[in-house]
Amino acid sequence: MYPRQARAALERLARGFPVLAITGPRQSGKTTLAKACFPDKPYVSLENPDEREFAEHDPKRFLARFPEGAVLDEVQRCPALLSWLQGVVDARQLMGQFILTGSAQFDLIAGMSQSLAGRVGRVELLPLSLPEMQDGGCVPPTLDRLLLNGGYPAIYLRELAASDWFSNYVATYLERDVRQIIAVRDLSQFQRFVRMCAARSGQLLNLAALGADCGISAVTAREWLSVLEASYLVTRLPPYFQNFGKRLVKSPKLYFLDVGLMAWLLGIRDEASISTHAARGALFETWVVSELIKQRFNTGQPADLYFWRDSSGNEIDVVYETADGLQPVEIKSGSTFAADWLDGVKKWQKFSADTPSRKPILIYGGEDSHEREACRLTGWRDVVRR
């Protein structure tokens, strides 16, 4: 197992909540983390038909088997169990009793909100972050290799080519699980939709245009995208427009949460193709945004990331709030600093002159990190400072 930074958040939450929930995409390491953090608790997978039938037909007896609590894996397979769980934890009044894992947010989050409100501490676990790879000694030797592989642990634990693993992942989980949720009849149409989403990662989201390109309505595109979000495959980054008046765009930007999956969906199968691919800039930006999200999720916090863009097209890729003011982040995939990279930063500084903000960070595809007059230049290996 690779060391996961979310472990500290789980251990902290276990002292204050009777139930913990670890959610995230399939194969992100949820079960491994739960077992490692709570090795003394019994483990039960509700993917097992016998266990699921027991939980569905006799939930009281099912839970009575675990007087000290348990790790209940893929609990979204039996959402009715959460109502019974409420009575058990209320009666025992013990912290850190049950650890729930799940890879689909819809049923699980709805059940927790209704039955376990105030009783559950939640951690969202995405694939490996760069600091976790650094701690585990598995950082790819080049940035292009990292963009090709992404962060799913299995790619680093097994002797597998990323392309082989993703082809099976898409067929086994994305096309099976997601299609079951939304009852897709035309697989080829859904496959096209997912690939078109990958081609739009890092861009403003236009549901009408996305649907038209896939031969579906904007309503269907919104429904399908919501399921991809609920499965932790994509996310929407909202625009930041507090204190800036009305001259700003209101549409969110779309991002994949694993750059390796995005690369595979774009048809990229080898490292050599990435360096010259037209989407390399979007791949790098997607990776940086996902790293910033992982940093927050791993501490048990919401993402709370935004972007800024005015009606003239001036943009800052990421903005987030800190105690010292707004932190702007610019992202450039090039490996050598260019003076014109600061154009957007300078326009931001002029536009936000009356708003408290910190020195901009410019994350780029080079190795060197240092302070400059207008920004803090940060190489890709230092994308998340510890």
pLDDT score at 264: 98
More confident residue, 322 or 178: 322
The predicted model gives 157-178 an average pLDDT of 87
Would 143 be classed as within a structural domain?
yes
Would 317 be classed as within a structural domain?
no
pLDDT score at 372: 86
The contacts found for 172-175 with CB under 8 angstroms, 24 or more apart, are 173/26, 173/27, 174/231, 174/233
pTM as predicted: 0.94
The predicted model gives 55-84 an average pLDDT of 93
The predicted model gives 146-173 an average pLDDT of 93
Same domain, 137 and 231: yes
Same domain, 164 and 114: no
Would 109 be classed as within a structural domain?
yes
pLDDT tier for residue 247 given thresholds of 50, 70 and 90: low
pLDDT digits (tens, 9 = 90+) for 314-337: 899 999 999 988 999 999 999 999
Same domain, 119 and 134: no
Same domain, 83 and 150: no
Half-sphere exposure of 337 (CA within 13 A, CB side): 19
pLDDT score at 118: 85
| CA diameter of the chain | 67
pLDDT digits (tens, 9 = 90+) for 271-304: 999 999 999 999 999 999 999 999 999 999 999 9
More confident residue, 374 or 265: 265
Buried b (16+ CB within 10 A) or exposed e, 319-331: bbeeeeebbbbbb
Same domain, 134 and 272: yes
Same domain, 135 and 265: yes
Same domain, 118 and 145: no
The contacts found for 313-320 with CB under 8 angstroms, 24 or more apart, are 314/344, 314/347, 314/348, 314/351, 315/344, 316/344, 316/345, 316/348, 316/360, 317/285, 317/288, 317/289, 318/237, 318/288, 318/289, 318/292, 319/240, 320/292
Would 293 be classed as within a structural domain?
no
The predicted model gives 131-157 an average pLDDT of 96
For the record, the structure tokens of 79 come out as: 């959402």
The predicted model gives 26-55 an average pLDDT of 96
Would 176 be classed as within a structural domain?
yes
pLDDT score at 243: 60
For the record, the structure tokens of 318 come out as: 């990421």
One-letter amino acid at 356 equals P
One-letter amino acid at 155 equals I
Same domain, 266 and 135: yes
Same domain, 69 and 180: no
Same domain, 175 and 266: yes
Would 373 be classed as within a structural domain?
no
127 neighbors 151 (Cβ within 8 angstroms): yes
298 neighbors 3 (Cβ within 8 angstroms): no
Find, among 184, 322, 303, the residue nearest to 255 by Cα. Answer: 303
pLDDT over threshold 60, residue 246: no
Same domain, 15 and 83: yes
Answer with the one of 124, 152, 169 that is the final residue of a domain. 124
pLDDT over threshold 90, residue 339: no
pLDDT score at 111: 65
**Phi/psi of residue 240, each to 5°?**
-100, 120
**DSSP strand E in the chain: where?**
19-23, 43-45, 71-73, 98-102, 120-124, 203-204, 234-237, 253-256, 306-309, 315-322, 325-332, 361-364, 370-371, 376-379
Q: What is the CATH number of the domain that holds 53?
A: 3.40.50.300
CA angle 46, 232, 241 (to 5 degrees): 145
Same domain, 94 and 147: no
pLDDT score at 184: 74
Would 55 be classed as within a structural domain?
yes
Would 319 be classed as within a structural domain?
no
Domain span at 83: 6-124
Mean pLDDT, rounded, of the chain = 91
pLDDT over threshold 70, residue 108: no
For the record, the structure tokens of 209 come out as: 């245009």
Answer with the one of 68, 90, 124 that is the final residue of a domain. 124
Split into its structural domains, the chain has a count of: 2
pLDDT over threshold 60, residue 364: yes
CA angle 330, 150, 288 (to 5 degrees): 10
Rg over alpha carbons for the chain, rounded to the nearest Å, is 22
List the strands of the sheet with 203-204, edge to edge. Answer: 203-204, 253-256, 234-237
pLDDT tier for residue 110 given thresholds of 50, 70 and 90: low
The predicted model gives 235-249 an average pLDDT of 77
Find, among 43, 33, 37, 8, the residue nearest to 126 by Cα. Answer: 33
